[in-house]
Chain A
Amino acid sequence: MKGLRSFLDRIKPTFQEGGNLSMLHSTFDAIETLLFVPGHSAPAKGAHIRDGIDLKRTMITVIVAMMPVLIWGLFNVGYQHYLSLGVNEGFATMNNMLFGLSKSLPIIAVSYGAGLGCEFLFAQFRKHPVNEGFLVTGMLIPLCMPPDVPLWMVALATIFAVIIGKEAFGGTGMNPLNPALLARAFIFFAYPGSMTGENVWIADKPDGYSGATSLSNLSAAESVPVDGNWLNVSGWSVGDMFLGFEPGSLGETSVLMCLIGGVILFATGVGNWKIMVATFVGGLGGGLILNGLVAMGIGADNAFMAVPAYYHLLMGGFAFGAIYMATDPVSAAQTERGKWIYGIMIGLVCIVIRVFNGAYPEGMMLAILIMNVSAPLIDYYQVQSNIKRRLARAK
């Protein structure tokens, strides 16, 4: 360790102003701060908060919180693949793991490669240090991709998200939209064939084997089951959906693993619990309102409206979005009451898109993006109402 430190100190002048490689200063800075805690922290005297938590530690915590879904996803990609071939040797097998790795590692590598490449380029041009923001984005992107997505699309989408979603607005911390979701939305709209339909959610599945998820089954359902047996309609049981034994994007299938990640984020204080809870409340509330409408006879033949409200929380990427995407502190609402409104609206909008827009059975991505854009507005009115209240009190 000491040797490394002295090596860095020795080559440091080369990269500083006036040095031969001063153009690469931010690259050097990024590597140095990755290896050692940066020295420029709060001074030892005076009233400063002295805490080891900085952007890097925050980001690493989020990555740790994503590990459960990633590991589950690796097994599930393999499990679904072999299931489609008619082989079922159980879930936690070496074969499943290896197949999952062979599909996921390239996506992860491409996502980090393309994204960090862009970040470093912009850091050099704009002469600012490389930010750590992409560490999380680079992991979120593979987790919300279908396992069969072509790698060049991942690269293109990542570059798009970093340049248009982040750098155009001023870099890490300035982005109005969640970059990982933007990358997904880019593929969703640019190459809809690779992000919708029944053929993309299971890697290398044989033709003819239906890879439909519970969401696509429900949106295509033509009638409400008379006996109340929703298994026949959704195609996957509540247990399967909760544990994550259904096809889907790499990280979204298992609600249980998402919840474990949520607990890690909550316990470390990195993710905001209000947004997570509010999103689930909003989704459940939206589902219950629709159930109520059905009970009143409105849209009674629409299976998507009549399905028990908690199904919405288990299907698709709802839990994943609520826990990892909606809580992104940069693009979410900042005020405390604003966070509740923001989360509840995400849940509601998601249900509305899922049920009423037949073309987009998964509404979570679009709901979060819409609320990302609305977050500053929520904050604005929240602040204004605070000012008003305090002024009234002052009088």
Chain B
Amino acid sequence: MRNKNSYIIIYTVALCVIAASVLAVVKQSLTERQDENIAYDNKKKILNTVMDITVLSKAQVDEIYANRVRPMIIDFKGVIQTDLKLKDVDVVKQKALKVEERMLPIYRILDEKDSTKNSYYVFPTSGSGLWDKISSFVAMESDGKTIKGVSFSHVGETPGLGARIKSDAKIRLRYENKKMYADEFEPVAVYMVKSEGGDYSDDPHTVDGMSGATLTANGVNDMLKEYSLAYQNFFKSLN
């Protein structure tokens, strides 16, 4: 009986229907919490570029984000696209387009006291490291040229070498107060040199390298260069 085709087909269908409905119920009841988690993770990454979030609780992060962060979408010319929402724009997918055709998300961080002023602008970037994708958020001062802070993420860089962009806080700090643009907003970006141990405090566009991780550094350099070009017109239009 168990080898009859009709039995097998009915058995399969019944099993699939039961399994699918169980999953549907589970997914339905958890979706809200999951979306919240994804949003919170993003909030942390954004705020991490402008303040120390390790001392903040989840409620504080949510509060600061709600009060002070205003996302918007711009195009290459720097024109704000009011009809597009943040969820319509995927940074990784946009990377497939030419820089001139991309829609670019940017987060305004409002001043702590005067909410009509913007203190910082944060934009997301995406690029390739040595082994896999890397990404970052870059926070700019209100002058549109100076970096306030960065935070890097990566998927699979070598631990102890390239993975230091995330694990070693020193690397992030090297980018602070460097300039993404020259005087007339030419996109020079910030360049990480090959070897480690040099002093680049006088050079606004150069940071010390990571010993043994030249290719990850190259990935970071290419990524910053590309996005400094993408956001060039927007920052230029601020002044």
Contacts and interface: CB of A to CB of B under 8 A. Distances in A.
Please tell me whether chains A and B touch each other in their complex, using a CB distance cut-off of 8 A.
Answer: yes
A359 B196 contact: no
B215 A199 contact: no
User: What's the dominant secondary structure at chain B's contact region?
Assistant: loop
A207 B198 CA distance: 7
A14 interface: no
Nearest to B159: A192
B211 A196 contact: yes
Given A192-B212, A358-B130, A199 B197 contact: yes
B198 A196 contact: no
A233 to B, nearest CB: 15
A196 B211 CA distance: 8
A193 interface: yes
B158 A358 contact: no
A210 interface: yes
Contacts, number: 37
B161 to A, nearest CB: 5
A192 B215 contact: no
Given A192-B161, A359-B158, A197 B130 contact: no
A90 interface: no
A192 B195 contact: no
Contacts of A199: 195-197, 211
A207 B160 CA distance: 21
B194 interface: yes
A44 B158 CA distance: 61
B214 interface: yes
Interface in A169-203: 191-193, 196-199
Given A358-B130, A359-B130, A193 B197 contact: no
Interface extent on A, as a size class? 10 to 19
B198 A220 contact: no
A197 B195 CA distance: 7
Nearest to A361: B214
A220 B158 contact: no
A357 to B, nearest CB: 10
Contacts of B196: 197, 199
A199 B212 CA distance: 9
Nearest to A222: B218
Interface string B194-219: 11111000000000000110110000
B212 A220 contact: no
Interface string B130-164: 10000000000000000000000000001011000
Interface residues of B, number: 13
Contacts of B214: 220, 358
Contacts of B158: 192, 359
A214 to B, nearest CB: 15
Nearest to B164: A193
A198 B196 CA distance: 9
Interface string A149-172: 000000000000000000000000
Contacts of B197: 199, 207-208
A193 B160 CA distance: 8
B177 to A, nearest CB: 23
A196 B158 CA distance: 13
A192 B198 contact: no
Contacts of A358: 130, 214-215
Contacts of A359: 130, 158, 161, 215
A199 B197 CA distance: 9
Contacts of B211: 193, 196-199
A95 B211 CA distance: 30
With most chain B CB atoms within 10 A of its CB, the pick from A198, A199, A210 is: A198
B196 to A, nearest CB: 7
A358 B214 CA distance: 9
Contacts of A198: 194-195, 211
B236 to A, nearest CB: 30
Contacts of B195: 197-199, 210
B130 A192 contact: no
A191 B158 CA distance: 12
B211 to A, nearest CB: 4
Interface string A334-376: 0000000000000000000000001100000000000000000
A208 B160 CA distance: 22
A200 to B, nearest CB: 9
A120 B22 CA distance: 62
A210 B58 CA distance: 47
Contacts of A220: 194, 214
A4 B214 CA distance: 59
Nearest to B218: A358
15 contacts: A192-B161, A193-B160, A193-B211, A196-B211, A197-B195, A197-B196, A197-B211, A199-B196, A199-B211, A207-B198, A208-B197, A220-B194, A220-B214, A358-B214, A359-B130
List the 9 closest pairs (A to B, CB-CB), nearest first: A197-B211, A196-B212, A197-B212, A358-B215, A198-B195, A207-B197, A192-B161, A192-B160, A192-B212
Interface of A: 191-193, 196-199, 207-208, 210, 220, 358-359
Interface of B: 130, 158, 160-161, 194-198, 211-212, 214-215
